[in-house]
Amino acid sequence: MIKNPYLGKFIAFEGLDGSGQSTQANLLKDFLVSEGFKVILTKEPTKDSQAGKEIRQVLDKNTLVEPVYLQELFIQDRKEHLENLIIPVLQQNNIVISDRYFFSTFAYGVSDGLDLAWLMELNSAFLVPDLTFILKVRPEICLERIKKRGSAQTLFEETQKLEKVWQTYAILPNHIKNVYIIGGERPINEIAEEMKSHVHLKLNL
């Protein structure tokens, strides 16, 4: 995996579905914009690429594919995401915040029976974010949050599956630099303040 060589900063948010990573990504974007930075908030899988559309069909249980083929779709979607959006923004000395990145495919891929080392090698040509937050929230709380917001459960939103997903998320800071696990069962504003502290300390923003 490649260290970011560009002037801009790349930040990723991760966690189980229902962990609040999307909420925190939005809050950090709003904060950085208020500080005068130009920030692009994006998400994986994307909605624009053909691969991204196929991934959504799989996650929504409308299509059944083999785990390896699903990872190939993620790779194609991520490649286009980087080339078409993330890298151009970083080259302009701006900030990219991505709601999910390759950490999700590591965690969910392993839960689907794939090897972590193989998944990391598959993504070895991609940029590593300058800072990654993984929100830690128990699977049962995540599922309860999903039910409360009235969202349909996707392929991976089952308690035992999410427990296995978390086991991989928990070890990623041992494999990749600048990855931080953040307690996500606290008040939203308290979590957001911790994110800001990390951004100030690690990225000098």
Q: What is the CA radius of gyration of the chain?
A: 16
Per-residue pLDDT, 123? 97
Domain ranges (residues) in the chain:
2-203
Q: Is the peptide bond before 45 cis (omega within 30 degrees of 0)?
A: yes
Instruction: Find all residues with CB under 8 Å of 128, minimum gap 6, and list them.
Output: 1, 2, 3, 4, 176, 177, 178
Per-residue pLDDT, 44? 97
Per-residue pLDDT, 160? 85
Among 56, 69, 184, 174, which residue's Cα sits nearest to residue 122?
A: 69
Return the DSSP state at 94. Answer: -
Per-residue pLDDT, 151? 65
Distance CA 29, CA 35 (A): 10
pLDDT digits (tens, 9 = 90+) for 57-110: 998 888 999 999 999 999 999 999 999 999 999 999 999 999 999 999 999 999
pLDDT digits (tens, 9 = 90+) for 140-158: 999 888 888 876 666 666 7
126 pLDDT exceeds 90? yes
Please list the residues that pair with 43 across neighbouring strands: 99
* Domain 2-203, CATH: 3.40.50.300
Please list the residues that pair with 8 across neighbouring strands: none
Cα 144 to its chain centre, rounded Å, is 21
Per-residue pLDDT, 8? 97
pLDDT digits (tens, 9 = 90+) for 156-167: 667 888 999 999
Q: Is residue 130 within 8 Å of 178, Cβ to Cβ?
A: yes
Per-residue pLDDT, 152? 63
